[in-house]
């Protein structure tokens, strides 16, 4: 049976009050690079997560989008103590500059942050914009990658490239393998030039706008993409790649979401999975998030786990992650980290911290909030017996590693 979390962390009153005092006391000068060390020393809680096979200092990272387009943005996130950053999505091309998915290279427009309500009455926030992937020159993306990777490395913050490779529209249309070779080789070379060692991290982005495209109308075609793309990236001649597959929310039922994840089970090239991309509003022609997205994503993972005998390996969750509690909900379904976009853009009045960095203010809420923060919830899970201390420490990663095949 799946265990439901209460609305607020069930803590002894003394513990909650102590966390609340620190939440308030540190609001104007939030913890940043030493956030993990503080939680470990003060509360005996290890909030480290994992992304793309790498240990990260907090399980929260920045999803691909307009908030990860410049070295300055990456540097601000690194100083704020973020776990990882996924850069804006590049549209793949061949060596002549031809792009099979050129329709996705649309200039970003102003982002609109707005309230959104789920059908059950739960309210939340979403961000909409008309832009899609990277619309600047290919060479400028490589410059961004070369600049961002060392910034992340200096702060133990992995930086990943995100790519939309060509996807055929029917079973008869071939993949443009030249795009896979050229783009993957160029990204891998830039990443290695900047990092000096290690495997490049690349997320293949199955975007929400793709879900609304005619080429995603057939289930068999979508499953073909998931089976073939890892092979094409792995065979691109770029050396070892830590490949992640960011799976979309298709316009089919929840069991198909599970079927998409299952299609990746036999792909040795896939190092991690991201579940799932935002929903697509066909009437407005925009993608959206909020509580409806979290509900569907969590339900889809609940379908997958008993069918496959466990959660997807090396999972990064995404969708309405606005609290430590929500991160725990994904962790209870196997997620080792969470990717965030909207929560970094809320009206400033909704963050308790008034510091200049939105990322630091958001992390202050995500980690330290006495009712909804990650520290409070990890202590609560220990109190409830859902996780146990090892050498006196409660570990976030123990939440995801102990997910049974049926809950």
Give the pLDDT confidence score for residue 1 in this predicted structure: 44
- Poorest-pLDDT segment among 102-111, 256-265, 369-378: 102-111
pLDDT of residue 130: 61
pLDDT per residue over 203-222, tens digit each? 999 877 676 678 778 889 99
Q: Is the pLDDT of residue 92 over 80?
A: yes
Q: What is the mean pLDDT of the chain?
A: 91
Least confident span in 214-218, 282-286, 324-328, 391-395: 282-286
C-alpha–C-alpha distance, residues 332 and 1, integer Å? 12
Asked if 106 and 130 touch (Cβ cutoff 8 Å), the reply is yes
Of 86-95, 202-211, 254-263, 273-282, the poorest mean pLDDT is in: 202-211
Phi, psi at residue 288, to the nearest 5°?
A: -150, 160
**Residue-wise pLDDT tens digits, 172-202:** 899 999 999 999 999 999 999 999 888 999 9
Query: Does pTM surpass 0.85?
Result: yes
- What is the separation of C-alpha 154 from the centre of its chain, rounded to a whole number of angstroms? 21
Per-residue pLDDT tens for 294-344? 999 999 999 999 988 889 999 999 999 999 999 999 999 999 999 999 999
Whether the predicted pLDDT of 404 surpasses 70:
no
Structure-block tokens of residue 391: 């050498």
Q: Are 260 and 232 in contact (CB under 8 A)?
A: no
Cα–Cα distances in angstroms (integers) from residue 352 to residues 30, 88, 237, 317, 363, in the given order: 10, 28, 49, 25, 11
- Band (106; pLDDT cuts 50, 70, 90): confident
pLDDT score recorded for residue 276: 92
| Mean per-residue pLDDT, 125-135 | 77
pLDDT digits (tens, 9 = 90+) for 32-61: 778 999 999 999 999 999 999 999 999 999
Phi, psi of 163 (to 5 degrees): -135, 140
Chain position carrying tokens 């059950």: 120
Whether the Cβ atoms of residue 311 and residue 302 lie closer than 8 Å to each other: no
Out of 213-227, 275-289, 291-305, 366-380, least confident range:
275-289
CB atoms within 10 A of CB 361: 22
Question: How many Cβ atoms are within 10 Å of 93's Cβ, its own excluded?
Answer: 22
* Unique residue bearing structure tokens 């990260």: 56
Within its chain, how far is the Cα of 363 from the centroid?
15
């Amino acid at each position: 049976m799946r265990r439901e979390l209460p609305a607020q962390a069930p803590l002894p009153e003394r513990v909650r009050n102590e966390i609340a005092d620190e939440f308030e006391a540190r609001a104007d000068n939030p913890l940043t690079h030493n956030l993990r060390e503080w939680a470990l020393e003060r509360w005996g809680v290890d909030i480290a997560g994992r992304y793309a096979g790498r240990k990260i200092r907090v399980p929260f990272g920045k999803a691909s989008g307009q908030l990860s387009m410049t070295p300055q943005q990456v540097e601000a996130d690194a100083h704020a103590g973020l776990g990882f950053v996924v850069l804006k999505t590049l549209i793949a091309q061949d060596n002549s500059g031809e792009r099979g998915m050129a329709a996705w290279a649309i200039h970003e427009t102003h982002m609109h942050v707005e309230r959104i309500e789920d059908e059950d009455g739960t309210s939340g926030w979403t961000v909409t914009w008309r832009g899609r992937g990277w619309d600047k020159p290919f060479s400028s993306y490589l410059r961004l990658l070369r600049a961002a990777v060392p910034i992340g490395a200096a702060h133990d913050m992995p930086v990943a490239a995100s790519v939309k490779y060509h996807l055929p529209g029917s079973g008869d249309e071939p993949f443009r393998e030249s795009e896979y070779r050229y783009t993957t080789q160029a990204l891998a070379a830039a990443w290695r030039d900047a990092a000096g060692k290690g495997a490049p991290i690349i997320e293949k982005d199955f975007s929400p706008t793709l879900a609304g495209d005619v080429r995603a109308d057939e289930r068999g075609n979508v499953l073909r993409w998931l089976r073939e793309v890892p092979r094409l990236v792995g065979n691109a001649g770029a050396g070892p790649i830590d490949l992640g597959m960011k799976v979309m929310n298709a316009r089919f039922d929840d069991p198909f979401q599970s079927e998409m994840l299952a299609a990746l089970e036999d792909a040795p090239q896939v190092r991690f999975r991201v579940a799932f991309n935002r929903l697509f509003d066909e009437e407005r022609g925009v993608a959206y998030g909020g509580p409806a997205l979290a509900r569907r994503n969590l339900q889809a993972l609940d379908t997958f786990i008993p069918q496959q005998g466990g959660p997807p390996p090396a999972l990064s969750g995404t969708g309405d992650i606005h609290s430590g509690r929500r991160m725990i909900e994904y962790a209870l379904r196997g997620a080792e980290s969470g990717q965030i976009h909207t929560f970094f853009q809320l009206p400033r009045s909704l963050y308790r911290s008034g510091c200049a960095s939105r990322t630091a203010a958001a992390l202050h809420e995500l980690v330290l909030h006495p009712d909804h923060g990650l520290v409070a919830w990890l202590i609560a899970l220990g109190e409830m017996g859902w996780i146990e201390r090892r050498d006196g420490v409660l570990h976030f990663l123990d939440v995801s590693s102990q997910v049974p095949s049926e809950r």
